[in-house]
């Protein structure tokens, strides 16, 4: 899939609000460096010209010694002042750019997190990280180029044109026309190159995503002895990236060849013109030196300008992918005028709910109705794929209903802020995700202000305290990325402790004990029994022993609810639930 070329002004509009937070130091950089550029690139060569003119105009060196020394001292002062201003401005540059980069990192993080659960399901995590980092770095590149290349080029080219036009109008006009042609040609060629840079950025994102996917699935690669197959898959990705990268780089080589030809015209043509003017006595010998000094300055300016334009277009391409994400409206939005959250008792009602994951996807629910009374404990049972976990995603507004509504205590959850809704629901997913932080921080994630005593109490209730205490650093132990240092059962007990600490009116357990051994399950079941007291609870389970004591068990198939009742009542019906119970092997629906 090829990336979309995003307008430059749109990209800059995302940078500007963060620039304005530090506008004094940001614009001070242009003033400070501007003075330094003019002193070093425009004014200083004028005094070198004067020295040459003085030297070539007299026969006795001693007679002009005082004047030459005065000019040398003046040049020394210019160099000193230029360097002082330049070095002081460096501090302003470091301050403003570092602060703005921090703001952009924070902004990118917040914008990504505004997207729905489905957005993260449909995008490579590694690719999103790469796009976000490139977006931030693109500002750094554009800012550096703006200050050190474009601003310098503008001031020095205008200054050189003015000086040359005053000293030798024909030479000044030649220089002006050449500069306009060179800049126009560069912009045209680099603009043509932009689409290739964007293709490189897209290919890089795919490579990063493929690498992250393989690293995440390293256990599967080893378990299924599929290293050779994965190496081929990754090699195909990098092969495509290499081809688009090589094409973009070769196009850049073409630009450099064209620039070399154009530069030859300036240097050879300009030198011929100024010597011709000297022969005609239209300019002094010092002006020849001045012109050559300016030509060398122009050479450096144009080389930097070409590189800066190329780098800037690449930065724009890097930013484009993230801007596309910023411009995309999140699937789930808070209402413009949210209702105050009044969740207290925890009555949950699915009212004529219809849902599909996409327009081309099959309908998961159609006209689904279910009421969970306040403080009621309801178990959901059914074959995989009938929508049990989808119900929890809908309740948490990770996904949005196609039609119908879900209410909690009479409030349509679509009218609440997402944070208000979710702060009243404790959720233990089938595969708990832990942060690469300490065990204590992971437990306290549901209640950041919790004391250590509260964290330990929750861990004890979840029967996690014992294994935590076995670690050398106890609750300060880092769990590794996604909690890889813990077993599946240990991760689930940490997630259960987190839910216990949350102390919310609604509790959702999605296969919360599926990774526990029999001994651990018995311990955790006791903890969950205490946790469920006085809370509306929805439990999803394939292991039916988990839900035997529920107030009500709801049996689902692709058509919706087919049975409901207590464990004992459903066994007496000898229907689907009875068959599940009868055919279980090791406590799971077979």
Orientation of helix 65-113 relative to helix 8-19, angle to 10°:
100
Tokens of 474: 């106890």
463 phi and psi, to 5 degrees? 60, 40
Q: Is the pLDDT of residue 114 over 90?
A: no
In the chain, what percentage of residues exceed pLDDT 90?
Answer: 24
* Residue 174 CA from chain centroid, whole number: 47
Strand partners, 425: 506
Shortest CA distance to 496 belongs to which of 451, 461, 543, 548? 461
User: What sign does the dihedral 336-341-343-347 (CA atoms) show?
Assistant: negative
In the chain, what percentage of residues exceed pLDDT 70?
Answer: 93
Q: To which H or E segment does residue 414 belong?
A: none
Q: Is the pLDDT of residue 30 over 90?
A: yes
Same domain for 115 and 227: yes
Same domain for 273 and 369: no
The answer to whether 54 touches 64, Cβ cutoff 8 Å, is yes
Same domain for 376 and 257: no
| Rounded Cα–Cα distance for residues 169 and 287 (Å) | 12
For 385, the 3-state DSSP assignment is coil
User: What sign does the dihedral 243-249-255-260 (CA atoms) show?
Assistant: negative
> Residue 366's pLDDT is what?
87
Instruction: Decide if 162 is inside a domain.
Output: yes
Same domain for 530 and 430: yes
- Can you give the pTM of this predicted structure? 0.75
Angle of CA points 266, 269, 274, to nearest 5°: 110
Same domain for 359 and 319: no
Q: To which H or E segment does residue 563 belong?
A: strand 560-565
Q: Is the pLDDT of residue 186 over 80?
A: no
Instruction: Decide if 587 is inside a domain.
Output: no
Could you tell me whether strands 363-372 and 348-356 are parallel, antiparallel, or unpaired per DSSP bridges?
A: antiparallel
296, 327, 358 - which closes a domain:
327
Tokens 């992250």: give the residue: 212
> Residue 466's pLDDT is what?
87
**Residue 431: Cβ-neighbour burial (10 angstroms; 0-12, 13-18, 19+):** middle
> Residue 97's pLDDT is what?
93
At 246-260, the pLDDT tens digits run: 888 888 788 778 877
> Residue 213's pLDDT is what?
77
> Residue 482's pLDDT is what?
66
The answer to whether 343 touches 536, Cβ cutoff 8 Å, is no
> Residue 586's pLDDT is what?
44
> Residue 590's pLDDT is what?
42
Q: Is the pLDDT of residue 464 over 90?
A: no
Strand partners, 538: 378, 508
Q: Is the pLDDT of residue 11 over 80?
A: yes
Shortest CA distance to 355 belongs to which of 403, 306, 427, 320? 403
CATH number, position 139: 1.20.1560.10
> Residue 588's pLDDT is what?
46
295, 327, 359 - which closes a domain:
327
Instruction: Decide if 181 is inside a domain.
Output: yes
Q: Which residues 6+ apart lie within 8 Å of 68 measured at CB?
A: 51, 54, 55
Instruction: Decide if 336 is inside a domain.
Output: no
Q: How many domains does the chain have?
A: 2
Range scoring the smallest mean pLDDT among 46-50, 214-218, 354-358, 475-479: 214-218
Same domain for 175 and 46: yes
Starting at the edge strand found earlier in the chain, the sheet holding 506-510 runs 425-428, 506-510, 536-540, 377-381, 552-557, 560-565
SS3 assignment for 282-350: CCCHHHHHHHHHHHHHHHHHHHHHHHHHHHHHHHHHHHHHHHHHHHCCCCCCCCCCCCCCCCCCCCEEE
Widest distance between CA atoms in the chain: 125
Cα 533 to Cα 85, 398, 582: the distances in Å are: 70, 26, 29
Tokens 């609000």: give the residue: 17
Q: To which H or E segment does residue 373 belong?
A: none
* Over residues 50-54, mean pLDDT: 79
Q: Is the pLDDT of residue 24 over 60?
A: yes
Tokens 């009868």: give the residue: 582
Mean pLDDT of the chain: 84
292, 327, 362 - which closes a domain:
327
CATH number, position 434: 3.40.50.300
* 389 pLDDT tier (thresholds 50, 70, 90): confident
Q: To which H or E segment does residue 411 belong?
A: strand 411-412
Instruction: Decide if 590 is inside a domain.
Output: no
The answer to whether 390 touches 399, Cβ cutoff 8 Å, is yes
Same domain for 268 and 396: no
**Residue 149: Cβ-neighbour burial (10 angstroms; 0-12, 13-18, 19+):** buried
Q: To which H or E segment does residue 263 belong?
A: helix 227-279
Q: Is the pLDDT of residue 204 over 70?
A: yes
Same domain for 50 and 167: yes
| Rounded Cα–Cα distance for residues 92 and 32 (Å) | 9
Top-confidence residue, 430 or 397: 397
* Over residues 503-526, mean pLDDT: 76
| Rounded Cα–Cα distance for residues 427 and 552 (Å) | 19
Q: Which domain holds residue 89?
A: 8-327
Same domain for 176 and 253: yes
* Over residues 238-242, mean pLDDT: 89
Same domain for 318 and 182: yes
| Rounded Cα–Cα distance for residues 545 and 539 (Å) | 12
Could you tell me whether strands 377-381 and 552-557 are parallel, antiparallel, or unpaired per DSSP bridges?
A: parallel
Q: Which residues 6+ apart lie within 8 Å of 248 measured at CB?
A: 193, 196, 197, 199, 200
Instruction: Decide if 117 is inside a domain.
Output: yes
The answer to whether 190 touches 255, Cβ cutoff 8 Å, is yes
Same domain for 468 and 322: no
The answer to whether 501 touches 465, Cβ cutoff 8 Å, is no
The answer to whether 332 touches 407, Cβ cutoff 8 Å, is no
Top-confidence residue, 81 or 117: 81
Q: Is the pLDDT of residue 240 over 80?
A: yes
577-578-583-584 Cα dihedral, nearest 10 degrees:
60
Q: Is the pLDDT of residue 517 over 90?
A: no
Top-confidence residue, 146 or 216: 146
Instruction: Decide if 22 is inside a domain.
Output: yes
* 585 pLDDT tier (thresholds 50, 70, 90): very low
Instruction: Decide if 171 is inside a domain.
Output: yes
Same domain for 251 and 392: no
| Rounded Cα–Cα distance for residues 311 and 525 (Å) | 60
Orientation of helix 125-145 relative to helix 8-19, angle to 10°:
80
> Residue 219's pLDDT is what?
62
Q: Which residues 6+ apart lie within 8 Å of 514 measured at CB?
A: 430, 492, 541, 542, 543
* Over residues 572-578, mean pLDDT: 88
* 107 pLDDT tier (thresholds 50, 70, 90): very high
Q: Which residues 6+ apart lie within 8 Å of 516 measured at CB?
A: 489, 492, 493, 524
> Residue 59's pLDDT is what?
61
């Amino acid at each position: 899939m090829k990336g979309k070329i995003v307008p430059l002004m749109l990209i800059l509009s995302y940078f500007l609000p963060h620039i304005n937070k530090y506008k004094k130091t940001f614009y001070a950089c242009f003033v400070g460096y501007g003075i330094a550029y003019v002193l070093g690139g425009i004014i200083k060569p004028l005094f070198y010209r004067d020295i040459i003119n003085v030297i070539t105009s007299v026969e006795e060196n001693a007679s002009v010694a005082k004047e030459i020394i005065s000019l040398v001292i003046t040049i020394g002062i210019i160099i000193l002042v230029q360097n002082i201003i330049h070095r002081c401005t460096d501090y302003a540059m470091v301050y403003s750019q570092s602060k703005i980069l921090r703001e952009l990192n924070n902004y990118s993080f917040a914008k990504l997190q505004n997207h729905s659960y489905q957005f993260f399901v449909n995008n490579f995590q590694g690719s999103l990280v790469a796009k976000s980092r490139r977006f931030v770095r693109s500002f750094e590149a554009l800012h550096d180029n703006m200050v050190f290349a474009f601003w310098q080029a503008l001031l020095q080219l205008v200054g050189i044109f003015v000086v040359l036009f005053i000293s030798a109008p024909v030479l000044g006009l030649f220089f002006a026309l050449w500069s306009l042609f060179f800049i126009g040609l560069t912009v045209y060629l680099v603009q043509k190159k932009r689409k290739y840079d964007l293709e490189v950025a897209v290919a890089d994102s795919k490579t990063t995503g493929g690498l992250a996917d393989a690293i995440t699935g390293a256990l599967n690669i080893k378990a299924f002895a599929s290293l050779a197959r994965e190496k081929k898959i990754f090699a195909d990705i990098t092969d495509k990236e290499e081809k688009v990268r090589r094409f973009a780089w070769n196009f850049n080589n073409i630009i450099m060849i064209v620039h070399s030809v154009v530069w030859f015209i300036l240097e050879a043509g300009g030198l011929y013109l100024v010597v011709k003017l000297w022969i005609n006595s239209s300019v002094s010998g010092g002006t020849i030196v001045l012109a050559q000094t300016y030509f060398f300055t122009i050479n450096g300016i144009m080389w930097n300008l070409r590189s800066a334009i190329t780098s800037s277009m690449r930065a724009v391409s890097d930013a484009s992918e993230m801007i596309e994400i910023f411009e995309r409206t999140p699937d789930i939005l808070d209402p413009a005028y949210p209702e105050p959250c009044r969740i207290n008792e925890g009555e949950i009602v699915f009212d004529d709910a219809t849902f599909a994951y996409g327009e081309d996807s099959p309908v998961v629910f159609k006209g689904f109705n279910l009421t969970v009374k306040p403080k009621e404990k309801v178990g959901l049972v059914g074959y995989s794929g009938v929508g049990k976990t989808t119900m929890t995603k809908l309740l948490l507004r990770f996904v949005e209903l196609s039609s119908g509504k879900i209410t909690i205590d009479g409030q349509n959850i679509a009218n609440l802020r997402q944070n208000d809704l979710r702060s009243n629901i404790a959720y233990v997913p089938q595969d708990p995700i832990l942060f690469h932080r300490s065990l204590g921080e992971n437990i306290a994630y549901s209640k950041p202000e919790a004391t250590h005593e509260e964290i330990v109490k929750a861990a004890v209730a979840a029967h996690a305290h014992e294994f935590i205490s076995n670690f050398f650093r106890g609750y300060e132990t880092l769990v590794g990325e996604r909690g890889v240092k813990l077993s599946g059962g240990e991760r689930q007990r940490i997630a259960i402790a987190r839910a216990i600490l949350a102390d919310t009116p609604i509790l959702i357990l999605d296969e919360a004990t599926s990774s526990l051994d029999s001994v651990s399950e018995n311990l955790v079941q006791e903890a969950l029994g205490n946790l469920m007291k006085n809370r509306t609870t929805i439990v999803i389970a394939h292991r039916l022993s988990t839900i035997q004591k529920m107030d009500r068990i709801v049996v689902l198939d692709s058509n919706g609810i087919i049975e409901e009742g207590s464990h004992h009542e459903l066994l007496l019906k000898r229907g689907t639930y009875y068959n599940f119970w009868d055919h279980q092997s090791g406590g799971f629906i077979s």
